[in-house]
Chains A and B, each alone.
Chain A
C-alpha cells in the first residue's frame, strides 16, 4: 500500500513520467503498426516483382514510376481522377456557398442549429448506402428517368457513366464543403457589411467584395476534403462508373487484389499523396488551416 502511494506521489510530482507512461501504449501502436506500415509501403514502391513467381524482388529501382509516367493509359487515368476531383470540388463550392450564406446570415439561430444537424446527419449515414441510393435513382428504370418522362422530357440515362460519378461524388462530399464555408461566413461581422453599404456598395457587390474573400479560407478548407476524398476513392467508380471510369484507386486496388503487384500499387498510390501534398501547400496559402 505504501509503495502504491509512493508511486502515485512520484507520478504526480514528475508529470513527464506520467505523460510518457500514458503515451507509450498509443504511441507504440502507431509507430510499430501504422508508421511501420506506411514506411514499408513507401519502400515497396521502389521494389519490383518477379513476373513469373509474383514474389517481391527487393532491388531498388524506379521501374514502377517509369511505367506510370510513360504509359499513356496511366496518364489518362491520373488525368481523369484529378479532373473529377476538381469538378466535384467546384460543384460543391457552388452548391454550398448560397446554402452556407443562408445558414450564417439569414436563418434564425434555431434554424441554424437545425440546419447544421441536417447537414451533419447524411455525412454519418453509411457511405455505401448513399452511393447505393444513387444507383436506384440513376438506373434505367429509376426515379430520375421516370420523373423526366412523366413531365414529357426524354430520359437522361446517365446511370453507369462519368456523369453519374460526378453527381454521386458531389452528393456524398457536399456536407464536407458546407460546414467549413458556413463556419467561415458566420465569423464575418455584420458591421463589415454595414460599412460596405455605407460606402455605397450594393448588396451583391458587398457579397462579392467582402463576404466572398472572407469565406475563401472556408472554401479552401472544404476543398481539401472534397478534393482528397475524390482523389482516393475507388468504391464509387466501381459501383456507379461505366466502362471507362477507372480511377487511380481502382488500378491500385486491382494491382493488389488481382495482379498481386504490391510494389506497382504502392508506387501508384504515391501519386495521389504527392498531388495532395502540393494541394495542401496551395490551400495553406489561402488560409485553409485556420478555417479548419
Chain B
C-alpha cells in the first residue's frame, strides 16, 4: 500500500533503530579486549589479559559466588511458590481472586526503589541483619511473578479433560500429577525458572537495599563504575553478565514460543 519512498524511509528507520539498540551492547564486548586500561575510542589493540585478571580477582569471585547462590535459591523458592500460586488461581473462582492476582504482580508494577525500601525498613524494624538471606527474600518476591505468569499461561492452554481422563482410568492424584500434569507444564516451569534467574542475576535496585556488607555481581559493577575503578575488569564482568542474562531468556523463549518472555516487565 505504501509508496516506494515511504517504504524505503521506514526500512531505513528500522535499520537505524536496530543499530541504536545493539551498538552499545556490542561495544562493551569490544572494550573487553582493550589493551589499554583507559576507556577511550578507538581502542589501541586487542588482548585477552583482562579475562585472566578478572577471573583471579578475589572480590569479583566472591561477588559472582554470592550472585549465583542468591539467584539459585531465589529461583527455587520462586518456582515452588509461583507454581503453587498458578495452580491455585487457575480455574478456581473464589472471592478476592483478582486482588490476590494483583498482589503477585505488585513487585513488578511498583518501582524497585519502593520494594527495596519497604523491605529494608521491614528488616530493620524487625531487627533482621542484612545478609544473603535478606537478598534472597527480596529477589524471591519479584521472581515469583515470572514463574506465576508462565505456569498460569500454560495451564490455561492445557485441557482439564486430560487430567479427568487419567483419574477415570484409575490413576491416583500423585500419578496424574507425575504422568500428565508435570509433562504438560514442565517447559513452562523451566522457562519461568530461567527468567527468574536472569532477573535475579542482574537485579541492582532492590539488592542495594537488602544486601549487607557483601556485594553481588551487579553491586560490584555499580560500585566500580561509580568510583571509576578497575574499568577493564568491569568490561569483562559486564560482558559476562549480558551473556548470563540473555542466554536463559533465549532458551525460555524457545520453550514457550516467545509468549512468556514478552509478558515480563523488568522494573
Contacts and interface: CB of A to CB of B under 8 A. Distances in A.
A116 B258 contact: yes
Given A29-B141, A37-B118, A142 B204 contact: no
Given A19-B88, A30-B104, A34-B107, A25 B81 contact: yes
Interface stretch (B58-66, B121-129, B185-193): B121-129
A20 B84 CA distance: 10
A147 B82 CA distance: 49
B80 A25 contact: yes
Nearest to A265: B117
Interface string A125-159: 11111101111110101110010000000000000
A133 B204 CA distance: 16
Nearest to A21: B88
A interface bracket (residues with beta carbon within 8 Å of B): 35 or more
Interface in B226-245: 226, 234, 238-239, 241-242, 245
A31 B141 CA distance: 11
A134 B27 CA distance: 9
A262 B209 CA distance: 12
Interface residues of B, number: 89
Contacts of B173: 8, 11-12
Nearest to A249: B113
A135 B39 CA distance: 10
Contacts of A122: 21-22, 25
A121 interface: yes
Interface stretch (A61-69, A72-80, A94-102, A212-220): A94-102
Interface in B97-127: 100, 103-104, 106-107, 110-115, 117-122, 124-125
Interface string B4-44: 00110011011001101110110110010000001111100
A195 interface: no
A20 B87 CA distance: 10
B122 A234 contact: no
Contacts of A19: 88, 92, 94
B124 A272 contact: no
Contacts of A143: 27, 41
Contact of B172 (A8, A31, A252): A8
A238 B226 CA distance: 7
B107 to A, nearest CB: 7
B262 interface: yes
B238 to A, nearest CB: 4
Contact of A129 (B39, B119, B208, B238): B238
Nearest to A250: B113
A117 B253 contact: yes
B49 interface: no
B122 A269 contact: no
A133 B24 contact: yes
A29 B144 contact: yes
Contacts of A98: 10, 13-14
Most B CB within 10 A of own CB, among A23, A103, A276: A23
A26 interface: yes
Given A23-B85, A35-B103, A122-B25, A266 B198 contact: no
A283 to B, nearest CB: 13
Contact of B241 (A27, A118, A128): A128
Given A37-B118, A99-B17, A171-B20, A106 B137 contact: no
Contacts of A229: 111, 267
Contact of B202 (A127, A175, A176, A190): A127
B222 interface: yes
Contact of A228 (B41, B111, B122): B111
Interface in B120-174: 120-122, 124-125, 137, 140-141, 144, 148, 167, 172-174
A124 B144 CA distance: 17
A40 interface: yes
Contacts of A279: none
A30 B78 CA distance: 12
B180 interface: no
A64 to B, nearest CB: 14
Contact of B21 (A119, A228, A256, A276): A119
B88 A23 contact: yes
A22 B81 CA distance: 9
Given A19-B92, A37-B121, A266-B121, 7 more contacts: A19-B94, A106-B10, A124-B261, A142-B39, A174-B20, A231-B111, A273-B111
In the A-B complex, list the 8 residue pairs whose CB atoms are closest, starting with the nearest.
A232-B111, A141-B40, A133-B24, A37-B122, A23-B88, A37-B118, A22-B88, A8-B173
18 contacts: A22-B84, A22-B87, A23-B100, A33-B122, A33-B137, A34-B107, A95-B17, A126-B238, A127-B266, A135-B225, A136-B41, A137-B24, A171-B24, A179-B262, A232-B112, A233-B111, A257-B208, A262-B124
